[in-house]
Amino acid sequence: MRPLLILRGDRDLAALPDLDALSQVEVQRVATIPTADALDHDRPIVLLIAAEDLPGCAPEVIEALARVTALVGLGESGVAEPHPALAALPLTSWIPADASPTIGRTQIQGALRHAASLVAAARAERLEQINEQELIDLSSVGDALATERDLDALLGMIVGQSIRLTGADAVSLYLVRHAEDGETRVLHFTLSRNLTLPDLPLVQFDIPIDHGSVAGYVAATGEVLNIPDVYELGADVPYQLNRSFDERFGYRTKSMLVIPMRSHRDQTIGVLQLINRKRDPEVRLATPVMAEAHVLPFDRRTMRLATALAAHAAVAIENSSLYEDIEHLFEGFVTAAVSAIESRDPATSGHSLRVANFTIQLAEAVDRVGDGPYADQLFTRDQLRELRYAALLHDFGKVGVREKVLVKQKKLYGHDLAILRQRFEMLMQQADLEFERHRAEWLLTNGPSGYADALTRLDASRAGRQQQLQHWLTVIAQSNEPTILPEGATEELEQIAQQTWVDRQGIVHPVLTEAEVRFLSIARGNLDVRERREIESHVANTYRFLKMIPWTPELSAVPEIAQGHHEKLDGSGYPHGVRAAEIPVQARMMTIADIYDALTAADRPYKRAVTPERALDILRGEADRGLLDAHLLGIFIGAGVFSMVPESVGSPQRRSSGRSRPSLIS
């Protein structure tokens, strides 16, 4: 492109007598001074300007022109200095009207060199800006890829950014994986996007990592391929393009850039395939003719960008895979921990998993709420994962509770009840022995006379004693059940405890020991105060154990959430007795889920299951008394969360009926 010389009207200069005859310079005569925006900034331009051209021309217009053109001032004949108006301008040079042609040509040549330097500087500045923007774009893309851990979202981001940065019409993403035999490595066609054909269904498939296909060749060799037209591949290249896609959909694949994605260990983990770089990103290549007209080869700039993006993508994909492996590892740990907890109390098997599922379902329902105090509450993916772990491990502290307390079924422990039954069996036998002793004594003293009447009296006395013992045993058995203590049972237990028996050594013992009376007199449930405190200590144990785990920042609240599932809004809960404002919403949700599952879970030795309807009534009562969050309970019920966890989750099955209200200790 020839340099441009601009001057007004038909002005002739003695210094430039052959102005219009210059072949190496284009001369353009204008009526008014042009603006900088109207000029081609990629062309060296010299503007010849006289004092009479300036009236009506704003100073900022001249300043803008000076940034893109070489300004040469024109003066009157016989004038030694530029006009004051011209002298104030950033002139490259000044030519009086009567200057010699030699001086004129010299000044113009100098101005042309200055104009060329302005163009070069502008190009360098634009290139610097482009490079800076590319760095900014790549940096932002790298940051975005580095922070995205969901693999599907990550792959979608890679594909989208590839199109945006390179102007490609289509992108295909392949990932290396093992074939079904578990040993052979193949390229899996994972994701694609085509701007011309946006509604194409995604059909995933595998191709060999070999030299037969373009992508397979790149994966096998690690070589970058930049092909201007894949229909014109030479016979000497080992790879070929499968044209079946083009033939099926009427597409024209032309330029292609195929880049290996390599991990930090220099292993190929995938291939990024860019197709058809376009002059105008908005154009759709609807026909092969349009593809011929609008598709460009991938240049050095797009190749550099795509290569950098592929490097970012490889690291991000590898990190995502590593993070996923860590998640699977931690999931295994959590599953093992939950199994270990529930193996100590088989009756509660499946409880932790069901509570976690109920809690997550409730959190997702809260996200959908459009009004009320939780309208603005939204849980992120990390927060849901944090909540799930807290719910799964909420009973982790039960590993620190004595097993006999944890699995206690009645008020008396099994071995204590067995001893007590043996005691009563012995007392029954004592009644028989007493009967035989008195009968023998009567015969020795009185002989057979009147024996029949005496035997009747002795037998009645024995039967009365055994009947009394059986009644006491019945009272004890009824009192031993983990239900509300029957009316009058406490008094009878105290009366029984006042009775004594004598062993073979002549030592007197109470029929019921002080400890037995204390346990049997528990008004409700099967635990005394000390045992209940030990059971309740599982929450503090949970917090202490979970705090020992080096949680990542996004999971750091797991211990705090887990320890709050037995707190009540009025401060009557445990372990800290905190009130509503200090209880995280996640813990409030878990509390509802925990109680509901404890109520409706299958029969346990110490309690009967209740129906879902009865369980919801109990929860409503707790909310009415200010113990539970009524708004969250409303969402739990209104969204049907209570019915979203199948009975088959965990084990055992739930019952559909039940009458007594069970303990809320789960």
The model's pLDDT over 531-554, given as tens digits with 9 standing for 90+, comes to 888 888 889 999 999 999 999 899
> CA-CA-CA-CA torsion for 606, 611, 612, 616, nearest 10 degrees?
-80
**How far are the Cα atoms of 80, 173, 357, 388, 389 from residue 360, in angstroms, in the given order?**
89, 33, 5, 6, 10
Question: Percent of the chain at pLDDT above 90?
Answer: 48
Question: Among candidates 628, 618, 551, which has minimal Cα distance to 588?
Answer: 628
Summarize the chain as % helix, strand, coil (round to 5): 50, 15, 35
H/E element holding 226? strand 225-227
Which CATH number does the domain 4-124 belong to among 3.40.50.2300, 3.40.50.1370, 3.20.20.80, 3.90.1150.10?
3.40.50.2300
At residue 315, the pLDDT reads: 84
Least confident of 344-353, 410-419, 569-578: 344-353
Q: What is the pLDDT of residues 415-445, one digit of tens each?
A: 888 999 999 999 999 999 999 999 999 999 8
Does pLDDT of 165 surpass 90? no
CATH class of 344-394+552-643: mainly alpha
Q: What is the pLDDT of residues 449-479, one digit of tens each?
A: 888 999 999 999 999 999 999 999 999 998 8
Q: Using one digit for the tens of pLDDT, what is the confidence trace for 473-513?
A: 999 998 888 888 888 888 889 999 899 988 888 899 999 99
Angle at 579 between CA 574 and CA 583, to 5 degrees: 80
pLDDT at 655: 39
Check pLDDT > 50 for residue 329: yes
Which of residues 210 and 414 earns the better pLDDT score?
A: 210
pLDDT in tens, 90-133: 899 888 888 888 888 888 889 999 999 999 988 877 777 766 66
d(CA 476, CA 489): 9
What gap in Å lies between CA 303 and CA 305, rounded to an integer? 5
HSE-CB at 520 with a 13 A cutoff on CA atoms is: 28
- Count of residues making up the chain: 666
Residue with tokens 């599922």: 357
Please report, rounded to a whole number, the percentage of residues in the chain having pLDDT higher than 70: 91
pLDDT for the residue numbered 101: 83
- Chain mean pLDDT for the chain: 87
Q: Please enumerate in sequence order all residues whose Cβ is within 8 A of that of 196, keeping only pairs 6 or more positions apart, or say none.
A: 169, 170, 251, 284, 285, 286
In DSSP terms, 29 is beta-bridged to 7
pLDDT at 138: 64
Gap between the Cα atoms of 238 and 236, Å rounded = 7
Q: What is the pLDDT of residue 14?
A: 66
21 pLDDT higher than 60: no
AA letter at 3:
P
148-322 CATH pick, 3.90.1300.10, 3.30.499.10, 3.30.450.40, 3.30.497.10: 3.30.450.40
CA 459 to chain centre: 79
Return the H-helix or E-strand segment holding 517: helix 514-520
- Whole-prediction pTM value? 0.61
Instruction: State the Cα–Cα distance between residues 309 and 274, nearest whole angstrom.
Output: 12
**DSSP state, 30?**
E
Cα distance between residue 631 and residue 37, in whole Å: 63
CA–CA gap between residue 458 and residue 438 (Å, rounded): 7
Determine if residue 78 is left, alpha or beta; phi over 0 gives left, psi from -120 to 50 gives alpha, anything else beta: left
Average pLDDT over residues 12-24: 64
Residues 349-391 have pLDDT tens digits of: 788 999 999 999 999 999 999 899 999 999 998 999 999 999 9
